[in-house]
Structure 1
């Protein structure tokens, strides 16, 4: 059998241009997070398989790349899985040092993740995922503040890429609002757990599968109609939705939505995200069997792509992993959907490849002076007293062509995008000087060889 030398399906090769785009996205995530007071963390690329079962149950195993480790002397082997997300790792890390960590805990991470699912537009088997979490909040007011702060950071990151309310919208919901919706539909509290379970999966179930769920959970015909309307994408905020349904307490439900929306959208507006950036959406029911309160997704307004980002409040997660009761809110954003959106909107910079600070034009027959000067330009100055770099080195490149034609080499310097060209020419070098050319203004000046690094500061 011939060896398959292609990259595995659902993975990507990052050539220089692709790697530059990846670093641009990651650096933007990182820089905006730090400006908002978050610090970066990371964990292992693989964890014990049982870690993921704690959060998602045994059904998650079929979606993972998992493997058996080497057996010990007794023949026992551990079972591991490549991480499909970072949240279980975060919960494990917080649970391990919960009492020593300052509150609130504001962490972000940018891990590579893996899922054994069929690749599709904006979703691969290997991807980069930006995760943001805030843990803490002793009062309802603090928790609501963190909810909105999390949503605001999500929008701020996307705004940093040039996206506006014309291209994206944050759609939000809340578990408490969904419970009120269940009451309107005639469900009793004992049926809420099933309701959350079904809503979380309803888009993936065909009519026969939904009918089986209704039968197993003794859901009355009237409530079945309610779930079927949601499955068909009908909006419960329209009066027509409630034809032939119970609709008890509908006005209270609408009032709760209005009050929640006023608080959320008014606060977001003070943070720079006014009308159009966010709206209530009853269809946002992601993970409500897992999330405990506020949930949100960011979608492209054209509706052409899967969710750009999504998250919510999960106050019981750390407890599930053996830690203390600790309120938490977080979201995730994948690089693949984001990159597709930025490309389709024409928002990726034309060239993201790094450009050198200096292009060294060497017209000397002897290569040694050029090599020495390149080393000096590239070298950083480290201060042992402060344990820091006091003068960073420059990105300095040169041509490997054999020609000594300065004109042709300056064309290479221009093509490289360098800020300066340093020209080592025989006549000037004999006098102990070089020419420094500003590639933007085209100005040239002679500089003593010993002063080149200072002249380029």
Structure 2
């Protein structure tokens, strides 16, 4: 049976907006989910990295399993779905509950609401529905003027595959994109780092040039086995293999100039979705790249967004937009208050790869979003606070 938390000032939802929010989710067909507050820590650490550890409230059970208070609700809702008889079938869930993270001077316990949709094969329609419901969520708080920022990591991934780069370059570029690193600057720095120069591991680097990750891992494993070592400086065999593979590719100067130009042109595309669509098709034609399926999916999503009443003229799409999380696989979006701000009011996207990482035997389509209740309440209170200040 799910654990429940005692109500606190941070978790007691004002009835008016909570009722409106949950009603809008229920009317859209999303059943209320209430996953346990206490969760296995491993999935959060595996998906977000060990850096996440410092943000978690951790404990250990009698069997030695590391547990944590849930830091968000996407993974707990997904785990409950996978453990249910509905796993693999289309199902949608909504939620409103407390999550727990160390956040410096801000409260560590705060509310999160949202929706997760699993198993739908009509991806473009499901993506558009998530954005439409996210806009309804902000409206439940009385916030109707928002900035809509969107992107699609699938377009970048398909572009990188079409360029036929060495595997290490593909992994590095996709990893840097997911971590919101400035790729244009990163590419220039890495290109300058290639070329002649002495390295004490010249023989190893020459042997690895052009290899894939599996071959690199096998070679480094053999070399370290001969040396009787299992790690160096705290790095695992896999991490060392990746580093050698990256150095070997840089040594060979393996990122062609024409590929750099195409990537930079791709990353410069932004504007309304319709404008971006035209620029993407032009790029694919000019560069002779087969990107048709991914661009068609993008166009289909635009059509469903328009059908949902989303004003495309007020929607910004950027090919360089990303949410900084590895598990997103396609459409991504954020809603910001007018005037911007670093933190979004609502954020989400498509994460088709997450379900297999959580144990699903076969891939299951998944898309959803989280509502940052704290930020929306602050916006809702701001005009009232200003009015009160004017009266004093």
**TM over 0.5, yes or no?**
yes
* Higher helix proportion: 2
Contact 2:270/2:316, CA 8 A, preserved across alignment: no
Two-structure CA RMSD over aligned residues (Å): 4.4
What is the aligned counterpart of 2:90 among 104, 123, 136?
104
Question: Which structure has more RCO (C-alpha within 8 Å, separation ≥ 6)?
Answer: 2
Distance between the aligned counterparts of 2:342 and 2:17, measured in 1?
Answer: 18
Distance between the aligned counterparts of 1:262 and 1:330, measured in 2?
Answer: 20
1:66 matched to 2:103? The reply is no
Task: State how 1:9-158 maps to structure 2 within 5 Å.
Answer: 14=9, 22-69=14-61, 72=62, 77-97=64-84, 99-100=85-86, 103-119=89-105, 124-137=107-120, 139=121, 142-158=122-138
Distance between the aligned counterparts of 1:196 and 1:179, measured in 2?
Answer: 7
CA displacement at 1:92 relative to structure 2: 1.8
Distance between the aligned counterparts of 1:59 and 1:127, measured in 2?
Answer: 21
Task: State how 1:352-363 maps to structure 2 within 5 Å.
Answer: none
Contact 1:183/1:249, CA 8 A, preserved across alignment: no
Q: SS in structure 2 opposite 1:61?
A: helix
CA displacement at 1:266 relative to structure 2: 2.9
1:296–1:167 CA distance, 2 compared to 1 (3 A): closer
1:196 matched to 2:189? The reply is no
Q: Per-residue displacement from partner, 1:149-178 (whole Å, max 9, x unpaired)?
A: 1121111222333333x4332423241x11
Moved more, 128-137 or 292-301: 292-301
CA displacement at 1:297 relative to structure 2: 1.8
Contact 2:56/2:101, CA 8 A, preserved across alignment: yes
Distance between the aligned counterparts of 1:144 and 1:212, measured in 2?
Answer: 36
1:155–1:90 CA distance, 2 compared to 1 (3 A): same
1:298 matched to 2:364? The reply is no
Moved more, 145-154 or 278-287: 278-287
User: Computing the radius of gyration over CA atoms, which structure comes out larger, 1 or 2?
Assistant: 1
Contact 2:152/2:332, CA 8 A, preserved across alignment: yes
TM-score by length of 2: 0.64
- Note the residue ranges of structure 2 that are not aligned, 5 or more in a row: 1-6, 195-242, 272-282
Task: State how 1:113-262 maps to structure 2 within 5 Å.
Answer: 113-119=99-105, 124-137=107-120, 139=121, 142-164=122-144, 166-175=145-154, 177-182=155-160, 187-188=165-166, 191-203=169-181, 216=243, 217=246, 218-219=249-250, 220=253, 235-236=268-269, 249=286, 262=299
For these two proteins, the number of residue pairs brought into alignment is 312
- Note the residue ranges of structure 1 that are not aligned, 5 or more in a row: 1-11, 239-245, 352-457
Determine the structure 2 residue equivalent to 1:333.
371
CA displacement at 1:143 relative to structure 2: 2.2
Q: SS in structure 1 opposite 2:313?
A: coil
CA displacement at 1:257 relative to structure 2: 8.3
CA displacement at 1:38 relative to structure 2: 0.6
1:311–1:250 CA distance, 2 compared to 1 (3 A): farther
TM-score by length of 1: 0.56
